[in-house]
């Protein structure tokens, strides 16, 4: 019974991945390399890899059809990209690592030597400085009063709301499952506990946790600019 259930679960998962790929224009079938989830990550260098694109400005499928990367993404040296990332209009600094199922929107800047763990969403308006750790499933927010429609009932567009910036300073760490509200600054070397909801600025080297996040203590490891933690 366990074997049968496992086979059904695997088949369902493969089907979901196939639908995901087709929705993005990728050609796939059950034996496609797209479904080989144990493949090595893409490591970027200044001369490649080459990203094909059907037309200028269109989203591109990276080699192996495992990543969706727009042509306007700026990627530094030795950047590691795991499968199923979705990147557009952003900058990724040298030696940074981007985990599986991470989405990074336009206008985001990720500094050098950062680690962005899987299932994290980084929205427009976020700046992440060098040597920052972002745990799994971290969510950033850029709209203080989000609405689907305007007062007259029409769907909202970019001109109908204000994108409020957020900054994560050098050497800071954000624990898994944290939510970072818009308009806050997480200070240099600060640490945000897993599952926290950050609603206000976090001082440098502070350790915060909870909902809303409150200061618990200070870190004992200082951050030197350019040297990490």
What does each of the 229 residues of the chain score in pLDDT, given as a tens digit? 333 333 344 444 444 444 444 344 443 333 333 333 334 555 554 444 444 433 344 344 444 547 788 889 999 999 999 889 999 999 999 999 999 999 999 999 999 999 999 999 999 999 999 999 999 999 999 999 999 999 999 999 989 999 999 999 999 999 999 999 999 999 999 999 999 999 999 999 999 999 999 999 998 766 555 544 4
pLDDT value for 151: 92
Of the candidates 100, 77, 75, the one whose C-alpha atom is nearest the C-alpha of residue 90 is 75
228 domain residue, yes or no: no
Same domain, 67 and 156: yes
Cβ atoms of residues 163 and 204 within 8 Å: no
The pLDDT of residue 41 is 57
Does residue 120 share a domain with residue 97? yes
Q: Compute the distance between CA of residue 118 and CA of residue 80 in angstroms, rounded to an integer.
A: 13
- What letter would DSSP give residue 88? -
Segment holding 14, helix H or strand E: helix 2-23
Looking at the domain assignment, is residue 224 inside a domain? no
Q: What is the reported pLDDT for 83?
A: 87
Q: How far apart are CA 19 and CA 63, in angstroms?
A: 19
In a domain, 227, yes or no: no
Q: Are residues 132 and 180 in the same domain?
A: yes
């Amino acid at each position: 019974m366990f074997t049968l259930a496992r086979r059904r679960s695997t088949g369902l998962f493969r089907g979901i991945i196939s639908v995901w790929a087709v929705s993005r224009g990728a050609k796939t079938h059950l034996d496609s390399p797209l479904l080989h989830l144990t493949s090595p990550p893409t490591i970027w260098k200044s001369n490649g890899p080459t990203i094909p694109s059907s037309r200028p400005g269109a989203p591109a499928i990276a080699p192996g059809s495992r990543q969706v990367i727009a042509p306007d993404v700026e990627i530094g040296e030795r950047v590691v990209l795991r499968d199923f990332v979705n990147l557009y209009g952003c900058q990724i600094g040298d030696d940074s690592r981007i985990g599986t199922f991470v989405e990074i929107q336009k206008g985001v800047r990720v500094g050098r030597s950062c680690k962005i763990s899987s299932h994290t969403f980084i929205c427009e308006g976020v700046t992440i400085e060098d040597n920052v750790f972002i745990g799994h499933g971290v969510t950033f927010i850029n709209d203080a009063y989000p609405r689907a429609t305007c007062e007259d009932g029409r769907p909202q567009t970019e001109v109908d709301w204000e994108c409020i910036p957020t900054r994560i300073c050098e050497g800071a760490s954000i624990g898994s499952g944290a939510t970072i509200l818009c308009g806050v600054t997480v200070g240099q070397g600060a640490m945000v506990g897993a599952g926290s909801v950050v609603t206000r600025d976090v001082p440098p080297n502070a350790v915060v946790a909870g909902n809303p996040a409150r200061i618990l203590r200070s870190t004992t490891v200082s951050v030197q600019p350019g040297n990490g933690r």
